[in-house]
Chain A
Amino acid sequence: MDQYVGQDIEIVDVGMRYEGSEEYAVSDINVYIKPGEFFSFLGPSGCGKTTLLRLVSGFLEPTKGKVLIGGENMRGIGPNKRPTAMIFQNLALFPLMTVAENIGFGLEVRGVSRADRRKKAAELLELVDLPGVENKKVSDLSGGQMQRVAIARGLAVEPSVLLLDEPLSALDLKLRQHMRTELRNIQKRTGVTFIYITHDQGEALTMSDRIGVMSDSGTIEQIAAADELYNEPETVFVADFVGENNRFISTVRTANNGYAVVETSFGQQLTGINPQQLSSGQQAIAFVRPEAISVLEDSKAGENIIKCKVKSISFEGAFVTIFLDIGGNQAFFMRRHNNGSTPFPEIDSEIDICFGAHNTRLLGTGTK
């Protein structure tokens, strides 16, 4: 696969406002994507992820800022001249052509002979693990097969960057999970830079080297590797959006040494990490992951202890979710492994739960 050369992408101060619109669809985007990296943009639908992808592919020109691919400014260069290939959400395979013709289309454009196109198509079908379907009609393929053909078609033009616009969203769950691994493998084998757009955090977390989380306002909240994103969210949006979290609206009382003590709206004092160096009197939200919470009898550790009542229990096989009542409308739940022997607390029983200060993250509610 030495014909592929992944290139880096630099998105500098990019903002995009559509004609006739007052607001920017995306703004203040600054990202450096390394050559050969698998980079995902994760965000809710309508956050401007697709706009960003179209800015990189050349279907849109940014209103502000610039996009560089391989160090070269892409302004004024159309999508047909950029070293990128796009995999569309609906794949956009050409229904009137055979599989081989689909894959060979980009080569046909470049004047490659029919025989060479066929050879290349066969090679690429091998790469995406779907050999021998050259002469099939696109409509005769299954969803997963179409997926592979679309990727082969994109790779046929030997792009430096492959842009993927939620290509797995149309597949059923099993196939989707399988294709994640497959995509990752193809990316590793070719070394092409992948930019992947998704609203599915499972996809983003499992496949990507790094992830850029985007919020509804079309800005990037945080760029980090999957584990960092999950364990150390930098903003309230990321803490809410990635994974499941308990959130307590609270006010900072004292702060020192990277930690702070807050008082929650229901009068409980909690100690937590204070990454934004919030000071006394500021509003904060205390986040704690459900799996970081344990029942006090099970473990002696934990700076934060809360007395609560068991509301309901949801058994999910490998783990158990316990919904807790701590007064008011405050939603609160913990998650525990099912080791088969530890009994579950009884419903309506009163228990003490605890969690460590290092598992409690205090984030300011103000803008970043």
Chain B
Amino acid sequence: MRKFRQDAMRSFGSFGITFIWVTVGSWLIFMILLPQLIMLDFSFRPFLPLRKIGGPEDIYTLKNYIVLFTNEFHRAIFIKTIWTSVLVTTVALFVCYPIAFYLAKVARGARFAWILMGLIIPYWINELLRIFAWQLILADAGVLNKLLLAIDIISNPINFRAGNSAVIMGMVYAYILFMVFPLYNAIESLDRNQIDAARDLGSSWLRIHRRIVIPYAKPGIAVGCIMTFMLAAGSIAAPQLLGSPSSFWFSQVIYTNFECANWNQGAAYAMVLAGLCLIFIFAMLKIFKVDLKELAK
């Protein structure tokens, strides 16, 4: 630590170090810490008309948090959001693992470049527009229904947007990179000889993945799942554009609260969602037996 300080002193000088401290420090305080603390403060205060704020009724209370348990409608949405996000994460993992493995260990040269481009180029477009595209694909008179009708697989258009299926599909697509890249990173560093050695010892491909590749890719799987889950749980565009009233998302509840000026309720729900994500992160780390340090890699 002392050496680090001396090195820093030598390369930046005392003015430079002060500058770094002040800029990084104020960024941390004003952009991250303070807004969160204000939200936390809001979440523990009752929703009051403007004139009563700061009055005798403006006291700390758990009321906003308790609503989640008393309001059946909100509770159901909350649970459904968790469940569906888990589903999105799982589907994304199953879709992305083969892609990541193919990219990391099979594809070479031009083919690798093409697949990578195919994955990345859609991300040059705004998330909102990507989800609109899915709206066009999944609509009653959309591309997919037309295709299925044309080849006589179905006789009536399927209403994809009735349940959660459209939302799930849209989200899996929207967050595919956040799953592919952590997995790719993890698998890429696996020594090709490990796979060959397992094969040489008689292993089937399934067992090679189960015993060699997946255990090795655990940190990547954990990171990918965490990212996808957090993005899915906090998503607003996909449920708004692809969802039906029955697929209302918890983030939409939070949004509505803020919109209706009930910032206190919104803040409390936002805190609950943040807490949920934290719990998910630690659960994943526990399940995959990954150190917090390994995630940083």
Contacts and interface: CB of A to CB of B under 8 A. Distances in A.
Interface of A: 57, 59, 78-81, 84-86, 88-90, 92-94, 96, 105-106, 109-110, 153, 156-157
B259 to A, nearest CB: 50
A157 B198 CA distance: 12
A109 B199 CA distance: 10
B270 to A, nearest CB: 39
A78 to B, nearest CB: 7
A95 to B, nearest CB: 8
Interface of B: 191, 193-194, 196-204, 207, 211-212, 215-216
Identify whether the interface residues of A are mostly helix, strand, loop, or mixed: loop
Contact of A57 (B194, B200, B204, B212): B200
Contacts of A109: 201-204, 207
A94 B211 CA distance: 9
B215 A96 contact: yes
A353 to B, nearest CB: 50
A86 B197 contact: yes
A86 B200 contact: yes
Contacts of B201: 80, 85, 105-106, 109, 153, 156-157
Contacts of A88: 193, 196-197
B211 A105 contact: yes
Given A105-B211, A109-B207, A90 B200 contact: no
Which interface residue of A89, A106, A109 has the most chain B CB atoms within 10 A?
A: A109
B202 A92 contact: no
29 contacts: A57-B200, A59-B196, A59-B200, A78-B199, A79-B199, A80-B200, A80-B201, A80-B202, A80-B203, A85-B200, A85-B201, A86-B200, A88-B196, A88-B197, A89-B193, A90-B191, A90-B193, A94-B194, A94-B197, A94-B211, A94-B212, A96-B215, A105-B198, A105-B211, A106-B203, A109-B203, A109-B207, A157-B201, A157-B202
A1 B198 CA distance: 24
Contacts, number: 57
Contacts of A96: 215-216
Contacts of B207: 109
A81 B196 CA distance: 13
Nearest to B192: A92
Given A80-B204, A86-B196, A89-B193, 5 more contacts: A59-B200, A80-B203, A93-B197, A94-B194, A94-B198
Contacts of B212: 94
| Residue from the set A89, A92, A96, A153 with the largest chain B CB neighbour count within 10 Å | A92
B200 A84 contact: yes
A109 B198 CA distance: 9
Contacts of A94: 194, 197-198, 211-212
Of B197, B207, B212, chain A has the most CB atoms within 10 Å of the CB of B197
Contacts of A86: 196-197, 200
B202 A110 contact: yes
B216 A79 contact: no
Nearest to B216: A96
